[in-house]
Structure formats: C-alpha cells, structure tokens
Structure 1
Amino acid sequence: MGGDLRHGGLPGGPETADTRPGAGPRPAGTPKPVGVVWGLLVLNTLGSAGAKTIIPLPRSLIQVVTMGALVAAFALALALNPRLRIRASAFLLLLTLLLVPSVIASVQLESGLGALFRCARLALFVGTLWLLSRWWDGSPSFVRHHIRMYFAVLGSVAAGLVASPGAALPELYGGRLVGALWPLTPPQIGQYAAVIIGLTVLLVLGRRTDRRSAAVVIVPSLVLLALTHTRTATLGLFAGLALAIGSLVLTSAAARRFFTWAVLCAAVIAVGFASALRAWFLRGQSQEYLTSLTGRAKVWDALLAAPRSMAKELFGVGLGDKSFGGLPIDNSWLAVYHEQGLTGVALVAAVVVVLGGVALLRPPSLPRACAIFLISYCAIASYTESGLGDASPYLLHLAVAASLLAAPAAAGPRATPEAPRRRVPRWARDPEVT
C-alpha cells in the first residue's frame, strides 16, 4: 500500500531504490535529524501545567525548556533546509492565515503581553512545519517519528509510576494517572497513548511493522490509557480506528479480519464486563455531573452569554491560556472563538474540512487510513479539549495527517550522459575545402 518499502520494526530503515522494470528513481529518504526536529516540537507542546512532580520543577524553568526546544527546532530545520524549499500545502497556508486574527486581537493587549508571546510562538511553530514540509511525501516517515517521540513521553510517565506510585496516582486527580517526572495531566497522557496505539495498529495491518514490535508499544500504552480514565481519548481511539480500518476493508484482508475480531471481542467484553466498564467510565461521578460534561457546560454557557464588541466577535480577545473566568474552556471551537473570533473558527474549520476532504478523495491505502484516524481523533477530541487554534499536539497530529496526504514528489526523467564531442579540425569545418 502507498508504494513505500516495508520495514521490519517501528524504528524503520533506510530507503532503497525501486528496482521494478520501468520504475524511476525514488526520492531520497527523510534525513535522520528531521526526527530530532519533530521530537523538539513534541517537547514544546507538552506544556508546563499539571500535577506536582517528584522533583519540584519551577514553571519558569519548564517554560524556558519548552520554548528553547521550539527555537532549537526552527534553527535545526532551517539548517536542514537552507534553501527554503517547501511544498505547497493548504493545511499550512490556513495555519499561516490563522496568525492574522491572532495578531490583530493580541495587539490590543487585553490578554496581556503574553498574547504577543504566544503569537510569536505560533509563528515559529508554523514556520518550522513549513521547513519540514519539504519531506512530506505521503510515506509513513512522520508517523514513525510521532510514535517514537510520544512513546518516549509515555516512558517517562511509566518511570514516574514505578518510582512513586503515590505521586503518579494522586488523590487530587481522583487516582488518575499523571506525570510524576514531568507535569502531565491525565487527558494529555490519554491522548498520547490513544494516538500511538491507533497508529501502531494501522502499521501492523499495513505490514509496515512486525507484531512483536507493535506489542511493545500497544500493550503498555493501553495500560497507561486505562489508568488515566480518559473517556475522550478512549472514544477517539475506537471511533478513529473504526473509520480508518473501515477505509481499508475493501482492499485489505488483514483489515477485514481485524475488524471482525474486534467487533466480536468488543461484544464479549461489553456483555461480560458491563458493570466494570460502567464504573470505569463514570469515574465515581454522578449521572448529573456526567451529563454536564464534568462542569464544562457551565463555562461554555457563560462564555457564549458574555457581551462582545464586533471586533471581538470577529477576531477574539487574543491568544491566552484557553480559559474563561479563571476556568478552563476545554473545547477547541469555543476556545478559538474566544481568542481568535469567528475568523479563527472559520479557518480552523477549513483545516479540518480540507484535510478530511482530501483523505476521502484518495484511493484506499495505509497512509490514507492513518490520516483518517488522526483527523477523526482530533475532530472528536476537539469537543472536550482545547488546542486546534494554537501550537499544540493536535496541530502536530494534523501535520502528520497532512504529510500522509501529500502527493509523492514526481521523479524527473533520468539524465542520459552525453557522448563526448570530438573536436573537428579547422580545415574540416571550412566549407570551401572539398
């Protein structure tokens, strides 16, 4: 599927030339430092707010590390692409346009100088993605980078759980798993686990990795996801996989077998463990509290009822910390509406619609299935989590989807070496000589 070489494991391998008759030269593989740039972008989007860590880390120190990672990512990407070769991308163009309402609203300083700082961060983030777009060729290279980096983050979470179970499962969060070495919240951990589980399952179905390597990623990630009790991530994982695998069932026997077994296992688990699943899903909350989306609905109603001028309606109040009245908004669309106005909402909606439309128009393949999973996961998670309008893991997920949907670079015709030209004596070039 997709025309890429199959590798034996997740770490991947070097690209080799296509030796099929009539095949042109294949484009060069992605340089290894590109994975370093991606890792720095992941580090930048981890955030600085969360549970208390085993070793107290000042928030200012964490912010210096995350911003330093973004600056380093941009500098390294620029060093790898000094001639500024980029690919045309509607996704990146829309993100660049999103800077316009962000800057227009932020210069009013209603959200403080931090709004301008966040605009600069978003500009640097999008600029780095533009530089990396040179290597967006429809191959799963960035999927592998994505899995490796977030699996490393989950490794730090697991290490914190082993080192201090009390700090990793605090009562403050209702016994849900948090980052004890780096301040990560349960929704963050659940998101990372769900995304790499889904991508790894699709790589197995596409025979791009072996089952043993996949199990090393999937099994511990499933355990961590269960410990976070994150409903949004779990629903996004299952719904995204259903849509992604559904796009392969007509062309892949492995996808059909997996889908059949998954439905059967889900039915058995739903019947045999209904009470346990219900207890896990409720997390000790009442039905009324769950209906109000754990209190989010009250914040949303207050945000929508707040009076706004025409300028704020169009461009928002500027980039902030995704909160209203001191409480988190926890909805990407309302957060964008609050900070970037209706203009920002239209641009973010265009991002999702464009990526989804391109994915639906592509023929069935593994890259298309991975893109569908990432797009659908972000669309589902956007209802209860913020991030689509600012530098965040969600934009990185969508960037991976954009790289998968990019058309492979067309290989130009091979240049045939010219035969050496023989020097003609002057007397032979004289037309009067007979």
Structure 2
Amino acid sequence: MSGSQTHGGLPGGPEAAQGRPGAEARPAGAPKLVGTVWGLLILNTLGSAGAQTIVPLPRSLIQLVTMGSLVAAFALALVLNLQLRLKPGAYLFLLTLLLVPSVLSSAHLESGFGALFRCGRLALFVSTLWLLSRWWDGGTTFVRHHIRMYFAVLGSVAAGLVISPGAALPDLYGGRLVGALWPLTPPQIGQYAAVIIGLTVLLLMGRRTDRRSAAVVIVPSLVLLALTHTRTATLGLFIGLALAIGSLVLTSAAARRFFTWAVLCGAVAAVALGSMLQAWFLRGQSKENFSSLTGRAKVWDALLAAPRTPAEKVFGVGLGDKSFGGLPIDNSWLAVYNEQGLTGVGLVAAVLLVLGGVALLRPPSLSRACAIFLISYCAIASYTEAGLGDASPYLLHLAVAASLLAAPTEAAALPTSAVPRRHLPRWARDRR
C-alpha cells in the first residue's frame, strides 16, 4: 500500500523512499482512486444540518450529495476490488456485528422508516470499509488521505470566512466559526482541525514530511480550531498528542525534544496567557451553564430516566438523528444506548478496547503513535459528541487507526534478500 518515503512534500504525498538505503521493499501501492473513495466517504459523513450558508442549500440537495457520495464510494471500491480480497480484522468484524442490534431495533419502526434507511447507509458504509481493507497494511497511506481530504474541507471553511466573515462567525453560534459554504457546525470544524493537526505533527516527528509542508497544514488549522472555541477538540488534540508522543519517547529523540519543548511552551503560555486562555475556554458561559456542559446534562438525565421495555434496553429504539426529545444527545455512549441498546454499547466499547489493546501491544513506531492518537481522540470526544454507533467521521478515524495496526502483507514483511529481484528498488538490485 505504501509508496515511497520523502522528507519533503505535503503530508498527502508518498510515504517511503525507494531510493533510501535500508528501506524495505513493498508490493505495488494502492491505486490512486483509493484516495477518491476515502474522500467520498468523508463527504458522506459531513452531515446535512448546520449553520446558514451564504448561498442557501436545500437540505434535500445536501442529503442527495452526501448519500450519492456513499453509493459512489461503494461502487468505486467494488470496481477497484472486484476479486473481493478482504483483510479480516476485529474492527470491521465488530462494526458488522453492530448492524445486528441496529436492524433488530429499527425493524419495529419506532423511529420511522428513516431508521431502516440509516441501517442501509451503515451497511453500505461498513461494506465499503471492508472493500478498502485490502490495502490496510500498517502503513501511513490512509493517514495521508485523511489529512488531505479534511484539509480540503477546512479550506472551504476558510474560504467562507474570507468571503463572508459575518456568515462564518454568526451571532447564533456566539461568534464561533461555522461553515459558510457548506453547513458545518463549530464542533465539526474543530474535530477536523484537531485530527489533522495531530496527525501532521506525528508525521513531522517521524520525518515523513518537512517543516514547511507541515506548517502549511498546522498553522491555518490551529487558527480555525481557535475560532471554533471547541473545548472537546482542543482537549482531545493535546491529550491524544501527549499519549501518542509518550509512546515514542523511549525510542525517538525527536519525540523527546518535542515533548520537552511542548511542556516548556505550555508552562509559559499558562503563566503569561492564563486569563486569556480561561476566557477562551469558558466562552462567556456562566458557571451553572458550564457545569451542566452547555445543557447536555439535562438531556442525558431525561434520556436515562425515560421508561424502556426490556427489548429497548437490550437493542434500543432504532437508528435516529442522535437526539432525544428534540434536543441533541451529544454523547456517543448515551446515543448508542438509546438507539442500539446495551448490545450496541458493549460492541462500541469492544471496538475501543480491542484497538487500544492492539496498539499497546505493538512495538513503538510512527504507525502505532498515529493509531494511539486517533483512538484516544475518539474516546475523549465520545463524552460530548455522538457518532461512534453510526456512519460518522469518528468511525473513519478509527478505520484509519485499524489500517495502521493491521499486519503488513506477506510480500511487504519479507526481508530484502527474500524479495524477488524484480520487486526490489534499484539501489537494492545493484548491490545484490
């Protein structure tokens, strides 16, 4: 799946240098269209509800685009993998099992026919991931696709900010940044920015990109993250990076240097900008509003207090729009409990535990660090954001983590001397 590594170029570039002595030979990389499939999956998970855009977009049109992108992603992935070469793994197996409580609960139509539609969407989403699993080999190819596609999404947000600052920073959201060209909410933008910042920092530490290319991604993404005032994304970024870099500290001098400088800069910022950081974090909210997590706790209490039949406790009420009583649930665990019951909660917990356990058992490496960052970010965000039980960016983040933790193909795992001469890079052929 991997290409060639380079110390320059954007994070979306190739990953391993063929002309670099000591590099392992790898089989032919994934087709370029795999990146297109990944971009279509990301487009499908952008959602259809959000802020008012500069040019009003009918919700039906947005849903047509997002659902059309999923169908196109599945069809293209099927064309690329006509032989149906799949790479079984715990992550995809557990996601497939998650379809069982989803279908059983949605079949009662308590959430309407939309529940069955969402089940079909989830099934198509998981099927596309299965088709792409052929190219999961522990390399960072899908990390680069992830960064490239979400950076393009953030580019549309920045363009909307330049074209119409008033629409991009509306009073309705308290002056927080929203998508003015495509309806994106502040938490969505914060999530995308935090994820690509963290992954790009790790690629830079692993010398898979240069400082200039990394700065092109990190600096504007940091600005957009700050404008969203999204606390969950910010905490997820810093805690996830701390855990990821901590996994490299014993084996990477670059990780030790970065960790040291990060601690020093953080201490200086806390002293010099303490009041400003506190004001940014509170977002002008009262202590009561802040302690109730902007009203989320009231929705959570009502959801837990609602009467449920034994079947609803086990399997949920069916896939819905992640709301309760007309208000967003904003908690992955409670959303899954409401829609897929305790069975769904157990399967989602198993996903995080299995991925986290596999990551801890792997030897220190860049791939492992990126996986730890993504898993920890999703675990942190699950407390105030929904999405772990349905087709969402969080499932795509975890899919990238699964691709990073997948075992390499047999051809990629062979030592240089065991690889046929025609598959070796030129420098290796010359030395044999």
Task: State TM-score, norm by structure 1.
Answer: 0.93
Superposed, 1:31-430 pairs within 5 Å as 31-411=31-411
Displacement of 1:28 after TM fit? 1.3
- Give the direction of change, closer, same or farther, for the CA distance of 1:339–1:399 in structure 2 (3 Å limit): same
Q: How many residues are matched? A: 415
* CA drift at 1:415: 6.8
**What letter is aligned with 1:401?**
A
CA distance in 2, matches of 1:273, 1:416: 59
SS of aligned partner of 2:49: coil
CA distance in 2, matches of 1:100, 1:111: 16
Instruction: Identify if the C-alpha distance between structure 1 residues 149 and 138 changes in structure 2 by more than 3 Å, giving closer, same or farther.
Output: same
Following superposition, the deviation at residue 113 of structure 1 comes to 0.3
Residue identity in the other structure for 1:217: V
Matched residues in 1 for 2:257 and 2:25: separation?
35
Q: Distance in 1 between matches of 2:204 and 2:149?
A: 19
Contact 2:106 2:317 in 1 (8 A): yes
Cα distance change of structure 1 residues 309 and 145 upon mapping to structure 2, 3 Å threshold: same
- For residue 3 of structure 1, report the CA deviation from its aligned partner: 11
Tell me: CA distance 1:371–1:4, structure 2 relative to 1, closer, same or farther (3 Å).
farther
TM-aligned CA deviation for residue 6 of structure 1: 3.7
Shift of 1:150: 0.2
Q: CA deviation at 1:16?
A: 6.3
CA deviation map 1:327-351 (0-9, x unaligned): 0000000000000000000000000
Unaligned 5+ segments in structure 2 are 423-432
User: Could you tell me how far apart the structure 2 residues matched to 1:409 and 1:383 are?
Assistant: 36
SS at 2:41 equivalent: helix
Q: Is the 8 A contact 2:3 2:17 kept in 1?
A: no
Post-superposition offset of 1:25: 4.9
Aligned partner of 1:196: which letter? I
Whole-angstrom distance in 1 between the partners of 2:256 and 2:178: 36
Task: Supply the AA of the counterpart residue of 1:13.
Answer: P
Residues 79-131 of structure 1 deviation map (CA, whole Å, 9 limit, x = unaligned): 00001001011100000000000000001000000000000000000000000
Shift of 1:8: 1.9
Q: Deviations over 1:332-390 (max 9, x none)?
A: 00000000000000000000000000000000000000000000000000000000000
| Cα distance in 2, alignment partners of residues 103 and 258 from structure 1 | 47
How far residue 4 of structure 1 moved from its aligned partner, in angstroms, is: 7.3
Task: Letter of the 2:123 partner, please give it.
Answer: A
Partner of 1:12: 13
Amino acid at match of 1:257: R
CA distance in 1, matches of 2:155, 2:101: 38
- The 3 A distance-change label for structure 1 pair 51 and 346 is same
Q: Distance in 2 between matches of 1:174 and 1:254?
A: 40
CA contact (8 A) 2:177 2:186 kept: yes
The change in CA–CA distance for 1:148 and 1:52 in structure 2 (over 3 A counts) is same
Q: Quick one: which amino acid aligns to residue 11 of structure 1?
A: G
Greater radius of gyration (CA):
1
Q: Distance in 1 between matches of 2:245 and 2:205?
A: 9
Offset at 1:77?
A: 0.2
Aligned equivalent of 2:426: none
1:164-209 Cα offsets, whole Å, 9 max, x none, are: 0000000000000000000000000000000000000000000000
Displacement of 1:416 after TM fit? 9.7
Asked if structure 2 preserves the Cα contact closer than 8 Å seen for 1:18 and 1:25, the reply is: no
Q: Which runs of 5+ in 1 are unaligned?
A: 418-434
Residue 18 of structure 1 and its aligned partner are, at CA, apart by 8.1
Q: Kindly indicate whether the alpha-carbon contact (under 8 Å) linking 1:191 and 1:233 is maintained by their aligned counterparts in 2.
A: yes
Cα separation, 2, equivalents of 1:37 and 1:312? 36
AA in 2 matched with 1:161:
L
Structure 1 SS opposite 2:290: helix
**Residues 7, 13 of structure 1: 8 Å contact kept:** no
Deviations 1:199-236 (CA, angstroms, capped at 9, x unpaired): 00000000000000000000000000000000000000
Q: In the alignment, residue 133 of structure 2 is paired with which amino acid? A: S
Residue 370 of structure 2 aligns with an amino acid whose one-letter code is: C
2 CA distance for matches of 1:389 and 1:291?
Answer: 26
TM-superposition CA deviations, 1:394-421 (whole Å, max 9, x none): 000000000000011012766799xxxx
Is the CA contact 1:18–1:24 (under 8 Å) kept in the aligned structure 2?
Answer: no
Distance 1:287 1:360 in 2: 38
Superposition deviation, residue 13 in structure 1: 2.8
Contact 1:138-1:404 within 8 A present in 2 as well:
yes
Structure 1 residues 211, 24: closer, same or farther in 2, change over 3 A? closer
Does the CA contact (< 8 Å) of 2:15 and 2:141 recur in 1?
no
SS at match of 1:156: helix
C-alpha displacement at 1:12, in angstroms?
1.6
Match of 1:427 in 2: none
Note if contact 2:168-2:178 (Cα within 8 Å) is conserved in structure 1.
Answer: yes
How many percent of aligned residue pairs carry the same amino acid?
Answer: 81
**What secondary structure, in the 3-state scheme, does the structure 1 residue paired with 2:51 have?**
coil
Distance in 2 between the 1:364 and 1:372 partners? 11
Aligned-residue offset at 1:320: 0.1
Q: Give the C-alpha shift of residue 265 in structure 1.
A: 0.3
Give 1:287 deviation, angstroms: 1.1
Work out whether residues 6 and 15 of structure 2, in 8 Å CA contact, stay in contact via their aligned partners in 1: no
CA contact (8 A) 1:18 1:26 kept: no
Scaled by the length of structure 2, what TM-score is found? 0.93
With over 3 angstroms needed to count, the CA separation of the structure-2 counterparts of 1:317 and 1:15, relative to structure 1, is: same
Do the aligned residues in 2 keep the contact of 1:335 with 1:386 (CA within 8 Å)?
Answer: yes
Q: Distance in 2 between matches of 1:216 and 1:76?
A: 31
Give the corresponding residue for 2:428.
none
Deviates more, 1:404-413 or 1:286-295: 404-413
Query: What is the alpha-carbon distance in structure 1 between the residues aligned to residue 171 and residue 179 of structure 2?
Result: 14
User: Are the aligned partners of 1:14 and 1:29 in contact in 2 as well (CA < 8 Å)?
Assistant: no
Name the amino acid aligned to 2:176: R
